[in-house]
Amino acid sequence: MALQLSNFGYELKSADHYQDIKFILHNHLITEIEQDRIELFDMSRLQIAAYVNGKVRDYVVTKGLVVSAYDLEMLAEEMIDELAGYGPLESLIRDDNINDILVNGARHIYVERFGKLERSQLRFIDDEHVLRVIRRILAPLGRRIDEASPTVDARLPDGSRLNAIIPPLALNGPCMSIRKFRKDPITSDDLISFGSMDRNIRDFLEEASRRRVNVIISGGTGAGKTTLLNMLSRAIPEDERIVTIEDAAELKLDHDHVVRLETRPANTEGQGEITAHELVRNALRMRPDRIILGEVRSKEVMDMLQAMNTGHDGCMSTVHANSPTDALLRIEMLAGLAGFQGAEVTLRKMIAAAIEVVIQISRLPNGKRKITSIAEIVGLRDDRFVINELYGYDAEADRFISYPVTPSKAKLHGMVRAIS
C-alpha cells in the first residue's frame, strides 16, 4: 500500500506506519466526538458509519493528505470498528473460517484456521488499546477486569468463549483468547467430510446414543470434544427430557425438551459461585431422561458416576485425557480428590459399572481432528480396568479400523456387528 501523508512525513509502506495513521485518526475522532457531544451508545452502526466517514474525509481534505479511495474506505471502516466494534478483532470475528483468536499483547494476533495456527497481520495500537477492547467486550456481560481482578472467563452473547488475563500477571501485555461459536453446528456428515470419522463409526455412535449408552469423550484442549458431544446429543430421541450442564453453554440441541444450566463464577467479593457439582445434584431432581455434563473436572464426578449407576442411562460428558485408559484413571483421581472414602477397588468397580464407552478424539500435528479410539469398558481383572477397543485409527495408513469382537468379549457386539 502506498499512502503518503506529507503533513506528518509518513509514507505508509508498513503495518507500523499504518497503525500510526490509525492512531492519529482515532485521536482526531475522539476529539470531534467530545466537541460534538456525540453519544455513540445511542447510535446504530449505520449512524456511526455515516458520522465517521464524514469526519475522516473532512480530515483528509483539510490536511491535504494523498489517499486513494480504497485506502480511505479501509481506514474509515477500521475507525468504525474501533468505535462501534472490537477494533482489529472485528474482521476476525466475522470470518466464519476462523475457530480461535489468540491475542498475545498488542502486536501479536494469531488465529486458528482449518485446524492450523497462523499469525495475522492485524495488531493493536498499544496495550491500552487491547485493554479497551477487552473491557468493551465485557461491558454488556456485567463483568470487569482490572488489577484487582486480572483474569476473566466469560461467554459472549453469541456463545463464544472469552478468556483474558492482564498485567501484572501477563508479562507481555494484555492477552486474550476467543473460542468462536459456530452459528451452524457441525453435523455428523460434516465430521465424515472432514475425515474425523467414517460412516461405520458415525452409525455406531448415533446408535449408542439412541440406546442410552453411558459415554465419556476424552481428548486434549481443542481436540473437538464438545463438537462430538453436540453431535451425539443431537441423536437423542425427541421424546426424552435432556438437562445440559456446562461452564460456558456451547451445546446447541434441536430438541424441544431441553433444560440448559450454566455454572456461575464468584463475584468480586468471592460470593455467589454455583458449581457444576451443585447443578448436577439439582438436575437429578428435575426428572431428567438424560444428563449431559459439558466437562467433568472436579467434585461433580461423583454425582455423575452415581447418576450413571442409578438409572440415568445415556449420560454423557467429556474429560481431558490422552487415551481411554488415561480417561478412566483421571476420573478415578478426580473422585479421590472429591473426597471418595471407600477402597480403591470399590471406586474402580463403580467407574467400570457406570461408564460403558470411552471415545478418544485427538488433534493431529497437521491440524486435523480424528477419532483415534472407541473403547468399551468391560470391567475389572486383577483390580485393573479391562477395555475392549471397538474402533481405532491407523495414522500411517490414514484409515479407521473396526476391530473384531465376540459375544463373550463385548457388551455392544451386537450393535457393532449390525452396522459393520
* 170 shares a domain with 243: no
* 272 shares a domain with 171: no
Length of the chain: 420
* 120 shares a domain with 52: no
* 224 shares a domain with 75: no
- Decide which of 282 and 23 is more confident: 282
Mean pLDDT of the chain: 84
- CA distances for 374 relative to 123, 132, 371, angstroms: 42, 45, 8
Query: For residue 153, what are the domain limits?
Result: 89-179
* 217 shares a domain with 302: yes
> CB burial class (10 A; 0-12, 13-18, 19+) of residue 268?
exposed
**Domain boundary residue, one of 129, 153, 179:** 179
Total structural domains within the chain: 3
**320 bridge partner residues:** 219
Show contacts of 159-165: CB within 8 Å, 24+ apart: 159/248, 159/249, 159/250, 159/252, 160/93, 161/248, 161/250, 162/137, 162/138, 164/134, 164/138
* 371 shares a domain with 283: yes
Instruction: Judge contact between 244 and 260, C-beta under 8 A.
Output: yes
Least confident range of 54-63, 195-204, 333-342 = 54-63
**Domain boundary residue, one of 51, 67, 84:** 84
**Domain boundary residue, one of 179, 208, 233:** 179
* 334 shares a domain with 279: yes
* 231 shares a domain with 152: no
pLDDT single digits (tens) 376-415:
999 999 989 999 999 999 988 999 998 876 655 556 656 6
pLDDT single digits (tens) 136-175:
888 888 788 988 889 988 878 777 889 999 999 999 899 9
CATH number at 306 reads 3.40.50.300
pLDDT single digits (tens) 198-250:
999 999 999 999 999 999 999 998 888 989 999 999 899 999 999 999 987 78
pLDDT single digits (tens) 266-323:
776 778 889 999 999 999 999 999 999 999 999 999 999 999 988 889 999 999 999 9
DSSP one-letter code for 138: H
* 223 shares a domain with 121: no
pLDDT single digits (tens) 97-132:
898 999 999 889 999 988 788 998 888 878 888 898
* 296 shares a domain with 242: yes
* Type of residue numbered 200: N
Instruction: Judge contact between 57 and 75, C-beta under 8 A.
Output: no
* 199 shares a domain with 284: yes
